[in-house]
Amino acid sequence: MEIFLIILILLILGITIGLFINVAWVALGLILYFAPTIAAAYKKHEHTLWIFLLNLLFGWSVIGWLVSLLWALDFDKVVMDFIEYRKEKANKTTASSDSSSSASSDNSTDTTSEDIIEGEVVNNDDNADNNNVS
């Protein structure tokens, strides 16, 4: 009879621990699934309801989840701010390079990182003259 009670107690303990672990995994899964909605609510996004609906209905697909996450984090504003930052930095470097190139005439044809804006190569006046010579 004692062995039966020990087995019954271990069985109940195992079921309890198993249920706790399963509930924890489900809770973690729901938190990860609704991470875009949680982020939108935390940031007090103006379209939190639409982000929630998009997340609820299309979050099962990877694309729907990523779109709702990017929308919740205002990724378009981050990209636009980055583009503005790169333009301002490029304008500052070209202005400083114009003032330094007038002091010393260096006719190098190498393209530097300051000459690249949004993936396009911008030719300085010196580089444009050298490229047209060939």
CB distance 36 to 51 below 8 Å: yes
Q: What is the pTM of this model?
A: 0.55
pLDDT tens readout for residues 19-77: 999 999 999 999 999 999 999 999 999 999 999 999 999 999 999 999 999 999 988 88
What is the average per-residue pLDDT within 106-131? Answer: 51
Identify the pLDDT of residue 134. Answer: 44
Task: Fill in the DSSP letter of residue 105.
Answer: -
- Mean pLDDT over 76-104 rounds to 79
CA distances from 38 to 3, 20, 52, 73 (A): 49, 24, 9, 11
